[in-house]
Amino acid sequence: MIQCLKKAYEAQTIAKKYFEDEYGITDFSYTEWFNVTQDTLKDDDKNEVKDSIGQRAGKAVYGYEGWWGYDSMPVIKSTNGSEYQTGNWGEEIIGNDDKTSVTQYWLKKGSNGWRLDVANEVSDETWQNFRQSVKALNDDNVIIGEIWTDASKYLLGDMYDSVMNYVFRDAVIGFAKGGSAQDAMNTVERIRERYPKEAFYAMMNLVSSHDTSRVLSFLDGIGDDREDKTINGAFPRYETTSDLAKQRQYLVAFMQFTYAGAPTIYYGDEIGMVGADDPDDRRAFEWGKGNKELVTWYATLAQIRNSYAALRTGTVEPFETGCDNIMSYVRGDDTDRMIVLSNNSSDEQEITIDTENLGVSASELTDLISKSTYTVSDGKVTVTVPALKGVILTNDVKTISVNTDDLAPAYDPSYIIEVRKDIVADDEKKDDTSKTEDEKKDDTSKTDDVKKDDASKAEDAKKDDTSKAEDVKKDDTSKAEDVKKDDTSKTDDTKATDSTKPGDTAKTVTTADTADGTEKTVTTAAKETVDWDKEADAIKNADPKAVLSVKMDESGILPANILEALKGTDKKLVLDMGNGIKWIINGADISKIPSKDIDMSVTVGGNAVPENVIKNSNLGKDVKKTLQVSLGHDGEFGFKPVLSLEIGKEYAGQYANLYYYNPDTKKLEGQVSVLVKNDGTAQFTFEHASDYVISVTDEAAITNTKKSPNGGDDQNMALYIALMGFAAAMIGVSVYRKKRS
């Protein structure tokens, strides 16, 4: 035993000296935090894990306890039943008098709190000291624990402020999928009765997270266990998700925003993203591909909740309606008493409510969702609750409005981020050249005989090439003269087309800066003719919310039958005009079909607007750039196409101001100011085609009051960011791991 201890001490001394000499490490107190054993670490195939650095490179790694077996997550040793008592771990990680612990460091850097992963597997003493450390910096710093069951013991004021409310999730989704209203209400009532009021109203009421299937997929039968190995079960798609599941999500969101606690939206749920359990639930946010109706639903519910304090901090008073498809309660405070009814049936339900017993005294009640008004007679009111949705009844009706343009990045296809081909190509190039060291050695291990043979062949080839060189040189010289003449001819043709106008053959035009800073007009090359019959069939057969793209030919003409195929649908058509110019047409925005085909051609950099008009107009303060835009169509479109133009990446974050040229008054009339996006593009919604001028300025030069054209900018995304940002801040980043059921 003495000999073993002596060897261990010698090994420890050698190791410390190595790290001191090589890395300058002198504090080895952290070695007391972990249980390290003589047994070597094994991988999933029971093979020894080899070290890759230092003097032990290539040798087996000593064993240590990893969380649920994951070697990337070593477990902190528990001393006397508490991690906090292990060495100086508590001081370094949890808190100290100097406020330099890891916990306090990030709070001082600007974080507003902590979410504690698998919090139930850490000692109470640790979290009690953690709370003291966190609150010492700011009492408003929030502590949220990941607890999947009843969390009463953690919410008594000495550990957490709130928990991820998976109990709420189970109750709400269970009800939405057709479960008993009474059972669901009993579950959430138990939570309300057990938790302190302060914690109850701060519950993180989520229905999806990085540890579960997304709510839409879960509603469609895809569980949290990844046991379904089919393609659609492991990697679900929105297109194959049932309509019933999609409709049920509206009900789930309705209950989140009308019940007590903090409605927490896992990024992407509000646009209809799908996903199986971890890691499929972590897909990147699908900008521009969302369901506009669903996004608007979430935004509307958020606006309603923000407008009524009773829905945020009011009492929760359940009552029975006699229908187990209806979950019902009153939300009330000193100002309002609001009746909330949720219907999980596929049929609308007619419910009669005794308003007097509920303490609601009003002769008339209005549903904030449908705007329907109901008369109260003899203390009773009969209400129609729509299928798979709900009603919020009140006698205090406030204006609830949502600007869908503010939410455009979620559903507008112009915000779709395309895969950069140069990055893909670069990755493929790296992959092709990523040979292992052994391969490289093998490639260079030619024998001397081969080298000599290659050298001999090279000499013969050199002589042969030399004899051919003179003939090739003469031939190339002859060809060069012909090419030069041909280029000269092309140059003359190009000059002739530089003055192309909207009515000419080449329809899509862009601008290029010249050496003197002015702009010249450049015509795009002709494209192949579009097979519009084929495109019309593709639109008709596409998924309900599909985004289709067409590369326009040189005519720039869009047949009216294409608009007929789009009208009344949620499908979107993107017309790629070339040179960074695109039209986006939403089927829902088509009000009438033109009697003839539409000229969608766009001229950027023409001279339709006289230069003296531009010079004498106030186009904003400190104008950075101006350009003319002429639309080939004449008059009203009959729909609202969105035009995406390349302004320049150097102008990202600045404003593109659109002015309509009035040929009668010979003046420019301000229409709209939009932000130039990070990719250098700006987007404008048109109802009328004419000639326009765009100026670029640091500040918006136009008060956006005009109806046409509208801007597709995203400068006022506060509500949308609130939906996503709250979820991101709460959930944070978690290491990928499989959860214990």
**Residue 19 — very low, low, confident or very high, per pLDDT cuts 50/70/90?**
confident
Query: Tokens 């009706």, residue?
Result: 397
**Residue 119 — very low, low, confident or very high, per pLDDT cuts 50/70/90?**
very high
For residues 345 and 400, the answer to whether their CB atoms sit within 8 Å is no
- 292-307 vs 718-731: helix axis angle to the nearest 10? 90
Distance from C-alpha of 732 to C-alpha of 493, rounded to nearest angstrom: 59
What is the per-residue pLDDT for 467? 46
Cα 2 → chain centroid: 61
- Please state the pTM of the whole predicted model: 0.61
Does residue 732 have a pLDDT over 70? Answer: no
DSSP β-ladder status, 681-685 and 667-675: unpaired
Does residue 197 have a pLDDT over 80? Answer: yes
**Residue 316 — very low, low, confident or very high, per pLDDT cuts 50/70/90?**
very high
What is the per-residue pLDDT for 474? 43
Does residue 278 have a pLDDT over 60? Answer: yes
What is the per-residue pLDDT for 432? 52
pLDDT, mean of residues 494-519: 36
Q: Considering all CA atoms of the chain, what is the largest pairwise distance in Å, rounded to the nearest integer?
A: 112
| SS3 category, 84 | helix
One-letter identity of residue 328: S
pLDDT, mean of residues 340-351: 97
pLDDT, mean of residues 595-600: 87
pLDDT, mean of residues 429-437: 49
Does residue 1 have a pLDDT over 70? Answer: no
- What ranges make up the beta strands (E) of 207-310? 262-264
What is the per-residue pLDDT for 6? 77
Does residue 57 have a pLDDT over 80? Answer: yes
**Residue 108 — very low, low, confident or very high, per pLDDT cuts 50/70/90?**
very high
- What ranges make up the beta strands (E) of 214-289? 262-264
Distance from C-alpha of 639 to C-alpha of 644, rounded to nearest angstrom: 16
Whole-number mean pLDDT of the chain? 83
Q: Which candidate, 164, 104, 242, 185, places its Cα nearest to that of 544?
A: 242
Does residue 636 have a pLDDT over 90? Answer: no
Q: Phi and psi at residue 192, in whole multiples of 5°? A: -60, -40
Q: Give the catalytic positions in this structure.
A: 117, 146
Does residue 515 have a pLDDT over 80? Answer: no
